[in-house]
Amino acid sequence: MFDFSDLLEEHSVPFVAYEKRDGDWADNGDWVPAGKLVPINLKGAIFPLTKDDLQYAENGTYSEKDRKIYTTHVLEVGQRLLYKNITYTIQGMEDYSDYMDINIYYARWAGDESSSG
């Protein structure tokens, strides 16, 4: 298996992932009720999609506002992310787990047309 974690760390940026909790204690010691979305600070490399990525995929058509995320963290389809004050939704992933130690996700832009960025 290829170890890309050092290369990933070099190009990583902070982003926030929102996780639904099943009713447990948060990192700060507060109780989080079931179903509540909790922001989690993560890091990963976030890139615009390539021309090949922009072609029709099984999840639908992507746009130039969508992103590709490389991270060691496990994300879920449908999970919301916040990066540079723009919200994205995980649409799919490329499974290379047999070959490398990072996960690759496609994130669809979920902002509105009037927002900047």
What is the residue-level pLDDT of the chain in tens, covering all 117 positions?
777 777 788 889 999 999 887 777 777 888 878 778 889 999 999 999 888 777 756 656 778 899 999 998 999 999 999 999 999 999 999 888 788 888 999 999 997 644 444
Separation CA 9–CA 87 (nearest Å): 22
* Cβ–Cβ under 8 Å, residues 90 and 82: no
For the chain, what are the domain ranges? Answer: 5-109
Residue that is written with structure tokens 């974690």 in the block:
5
pTM: 0.79
Tell me what pLDDT residue 115 has: 45
| Inter-residue contact 79 to 90 (CB < 8 Å) | yes
Query: For residue 59, what pLDDT is reported?
Result: 58
Task: Give φ, ψ of 7 to 5 degrees.
Answer: -65, -40
- Rounded Cα gap, residues 97 and 20, in angstroms: 24
5-109: which CATH number, 3.40.50.300, 2.40.10.270, 3.40.50.150, 3.40.640.10? 2.40.10.270
CB within 8 A of 101, min separation 6: which ones?
Answer: 1, 2, 3, 4, 5, 72
* pLDDT at residue 63, rounded to an integer: 83
Q: Specify the residue for token string 């992932």.
A: 17
| Sign of the CA dihedral running 84, 14, 90, 26 | negative
Q: State the pLDDT at residue 52.
A: 79
